[in-house]
Amino acid sequence: MNLDFRLLEIFVAIYQTRSVGEAARILKMSQPGISSALNRLRANLNDPLFIKASSGMQPTSRAHDLFDPICKILVQINSKLKVQPHFDPH
């Protein structure tokens, strides 16, 4: 499996907005870049994750199951990255 932090952020953005275009705007990426990332996620997780519908990109049951755990992972990672470690050169 080849997942990176950015793919998880893209998953959350699509899930929350139900739109590849809106996710691209929020994440300051191109729409083809988001689509490419979604395709990598789909291949890695062996699930379509989102199905195109008239009301937007609808999450599959697998996407619903993954949303909360992925959000928790992102919160933990972001909180750890924001902590400034104490540096003592002596």
Closest of 9, 44, 39 to residue 24, by C-alpha: 9
* pLDDT tens sequence across 28-87: 999 999 999 999 999 999 999 999 999 999 999 999 999 999 999 999 988 877 766 666
pLDDT at 90: 67
pTM equals 0.86
- Residues in CB range of 23: below 8 A, 6 or more apart: 10, 13, 14, 17, 29, 34
Written as six digits, the tokens of 21 are 């275009």
User: Is pLDDT above 80 for 16?
Assistant: yes
